[in-house]
Amino acid sequence: MSRGSSQHLPGDRPHRVAVLVDQGSNPFELGVATELFGLRRPEIDRPWYDFTLCAVRPEVRMHAGFFTLSGVAGPEAAEAADTLIVPNRPDPLVPPDPAVLDAVRRAAGRGARLVSFCSGAFTLAAAGVLDGRRATTHWRWAGEFAARHPAVRLAPDVLFVDDGDVLTAAGSAAALDLGLHLIARDHGAEVANTVSRRLVFAAHRDGGQQQFVERPVPAVPDASLAPVLAWAQQRLDRPLAVADLAARASVSPATLHRRFRAELGTTPLAWLTAERVTLARRLLERPDSGMALEAVARASGLGTASSLRVQLRRRTGLGPAEYRRRFGRG
């Protein structure tokens, strides 16, 4: 499968997502997967995911031993999954259950999409499905991961990596970002935005952003970037440069750059481009959108149809025409 492509097309049977629960799995990450892929979405007018939790053992002791999970589906559910999610491992240096590794290898062999959250990347690597692939894991374990799995192209400081049919998230919170990214891949940007609003979760961060930022919570509320971000989002169709954002924030471009790095883990230009591509995607998805590509490019601030093609393909793996055919709501 090519990077950024989708295994789920509107109108198909529901895409089957299974979470393979192992000893010590993190309840938060199971909750993230359940919230994103398991809950019914009556506000979305298309088939949602067919979701299940499964385990290779009848009972699973959860992280920190607070409770035991039982009554979930057996390993046969993993055999039917279109997407198999592997949550974190409490101690990634302990070898995974061989039955879990077998389930992962069989899923890979039949072409299922594989996803790991946090240190779950150790499980995928132990199964051999990450060799030669780009992946990430939690920054705390990056050094140990690189030493144990040198054949994996580790990206140690990003939120998540989309390598086509294998996707890895850096930590528990990044699991939300990756999950929304998957929904956008499968259903389009507007549906992902609808789910994000339902979660009362800010628009998901781009996978290339840093895992750890210097100042995640501004010490002085008035110094937050929120006002200038909201101002820019209302003006994406206009000529808007980094200097304009700096002037709006009453700081120099260099100071603005430092603040973006500190608060968002990205650069002003990268943020602005990502916002414009998201707007372009939503314009292409509108049911009444007969806009020419040049008009979509202008309305989103990307300038030209050529720029729209380049940026959209870079982030979704699809050109504008194919993207509109797949996700357009006509």
Model confidence pLDDT, tens digit, residues 248-290: 999 999 999 999 988 887 899 999 999 999 999 999 998 765 7
Q: 16-198, what's its fold?
A: Rossmann fold (3.40.50)
What are the tens digits of pLDDT across the range 107-155?
999 999 999 999 999 999 999 999 999 999 999 999 999 999 999 999 9
Q: What pLDDT score does 68 carry?
A: 87
Domain with CATH 1.10.10.60 in the chain: 218-330
Rounded average pLDDT over 1-9 = 41
Q: For 9-17, what is the mean pLDDT? A: 72
Backbone φ, ψ for residue 213 (5° rounding): -110, 155
Element (H, E) at 153: strand 153-154
Name, of 5-14, 36-45, 116-125, 203-212, the range with top average pLDDT: 116-125
Tens of pLDDT, residue by residue over 175-222, are 999 999 999 999 998 899 889 888 877 655 666 555 554 444 444 444
**Which CATH number does 218-330 carry?**
1.10.10.60
Both ends of the chain: CA-CA distance in Å? 26
Give the list of residues 6+ apart from residue 100 with CB closer than 8 angstroms, or none.
Answer: 20, 22, 56, 86, 123
Q: Considering the chain, tell me which residue range(s) the CATH 3.40.50.880 domain(s) occupy.
A: 16-198
> What's the pTM value of the predicted model, to 2 decimals?
0.79
Alpha carbon 105 to its chain centroid, in Å, reads 23
Average pLDDT, the chain: 86
Closest CA to 225 of 257, 273, 180, 177: 257
Using 50, 70 and 90 to split pLDDT, how confident is the model at 64? low
Judged against a pLDDT cut of 90, whether residue 46 lies above it is answered with no
